[in-house]
Amino acid sequence: MNSTVSTQRDSASPTHGPLPLQAVILAGGSGTRLWPLSRDQFPKQLIGLLGEESLLQSTARRLDAVNASRPVAEQVLVVCGEDHRFTTAEQLRRVGRSGVIILEPVGRNTAPALTLAALALVQGGNDAIMVAMPADHAIRDVATFAESVAKAAEYAETGQVVTLGIVPTRPETGYGYIKVGEALGKNGGHRLERFVEKPNLDLAQSYLNSGDFWWNSGIFVLRASVWLRLVEHYHPLIAEASRRAFDASVADQDFLRVGREEFVACPSESIDFAVMEHLGDPDSPAEGVVIPLQAGWSDVGSWDAIWDLLPKDGEGNVARGRAMFDGAVNTFAHSEGRLIACVGTENLVVVETPDAILVAKTSEVQRVKNIVARIKAENGTEAQYHRKVFRPWGYYDSIDSGRGFQVKRIVVNPGCRLSLQMHHHRAEHWIVVSGTALVTRGDESFLLSENESTYIPLGQKHRLENPGKVPLAMIEVQSGSYLGEDDIVRFDDTYGRA
């Protein structure tokens, strides 16, 4: 991947042909309501919640269908947190996408993230039309989505700010709303009157009855320069801090790291609050437009939304993985390995992972975030990590642990290697299950093949590499007084980790 966004056309004038569309993917969410699958270190946008592809991968390919009517930049532009950078890059690679991945040193919500993306485009000489999309949404009808984006682009090209509004089908209390104004006479566009916060049920019903309020999808279409002008006008502190952070950025392998100190000083605010809610002001530098989107959109915000999106049996049940139903109705069962047997259940969600099980009434799934908060308050690891933890070199799976010991299954991808490191509190035994390991231990280096093993004493510098063409699988047995992942002193690392 490159550290700058390629310029598809120097001129922003429509007389030179239509401006290209630039996919901007905002991938900083955590998805706590989809625990135990979604966790801080592996959030919902990186998970295949609805199929083989992750939500991030589906989002990265979403503009493909627009190509027939308007050029679309080949590169995608992603803004994500540092902890997710390697998985994000790998998932994009698997669906044939390249681009720029801008790393936020800390989360500061969507307005600063979009500002960083716009700066990357404009400073690269490319005032493209940004299609800003959350990485964790789902859209069933991609062709209809593409049509709506193409319509929105016609307004955005002339400097207007467009949001895609979802025509509501029910009195939903979990979404923000957009008050829709007069029809503008082309492409189904309407004047954007105002944004409305999440309502109570009675107010949501009145919105539905009026027909004047649409759900806020969080998808925005506008030129990069227009966004920068708006954020400078309405929230100059975000504009200044984001620009300073971007100016301090450095390229790091596939990523663009913005200045940490400068970005930490940036106010945390959403796109809606920082800018969009002000578009109706008399002194606004741009007008707001709403384009209707009826393409099976979902914010995939909770387990009942997952149940709603997936195919069901005749009794309304959804099974993912090993699940059986007997007399069950409207039950969602997701298994990561063990068999889930649901007998006589009704309106229930059951999610099994190797280290946690969720059982919840469908009507109460919004409260899952409360459980996540309690786990964090009690310093539990289940809110942060899965048992299987992905690393840029592969992954490890903590298969057993007890007082003074821990057993991991480690898989190292071909050609990859771990950092040269040392531990203060543990020793390690390595046993190769398959593949070939190149081991560095102190001043010596040697190869290990299948069924061979070695011992790494406490305090010894060491490194594990896979010099072969197939994955290296091994068992690591740790022993010592402290076995936490923070007991790692790195001396050299291919992936730039501290």
In this predicted model, which residue has the larger pLDDT, 195 or 291?
291
Summarised one tens digit per residue, pLDDT across range 253-266 is 889 999 999 999 99
255 torsion bin: left (phi>0), alpha (psi -120 to 50), beta (else): beta
> Is residue 113 within 8 Å of residue 245, measured between CB atoms?
no
Same domain, 247 and 112: yes
Same domain, 114 and 19: yes
Same domain, 404 and 340: no
Cα separation, 217 vs 165, whole angstroms: 6
Summarised one tens digit per residue, pLDDT across range 448-485 is 999 999 999 999 999 999 999 999 999 999 999 999 88
Burial state string for 143-163 with b = 16 or more CB within 10 A and e = fewer than 16: ebbbbbbbbbbbbbbeebbbb
Sign of the torsion angle spanned by Cα atoms 440, 446, 452, 456 = negative
Considering the domain boundaries, does residue 74 fall inside one?
yes
Cα separation, 395 vs 327, whole angstroms: 40
Residue 271, judged by CB atoms within 10 A of its CB (0-12, 13-18, 19+), counts as: buried
Distant-in-sequence, close-in-space partners of 283: CB < 8 Å, separation ≥ 6: none
In the chain, how many domains are there? 3
Structural domain of residue 80, as residue ranges? Answer: 14-298
Same domain, 30 and 58: yes
Is the confidence at residue 488, as pLDDT, over 60?
A: yes
Kindly report the CATH number assigned to the domain that includes residue 157: 3.90.550.10
Q: Whose CA is closest to 305, among 195, 140, 133?
A: 140
Most distant CA atoms of the chain, gap in Å: 76
- Using the 3D structure, point to which of 346, 377, 408 is the last residue of a domain: 377
pLDDT at 210: 92
Summarised one tens digit per residue, pLDDT across range 370-413 is 999 999 999 999 999 999 999 999 999 999 999 999 999 999 99
Same domain, 117 and 258: yes
Is the confidence at residue 334, as pLDDT, over 80?
A: yes
Within 258-378, strands assigned E span 288-293, 297-298, 318-320, 323-326, 329-335, 340-343, 346-352, 357-361
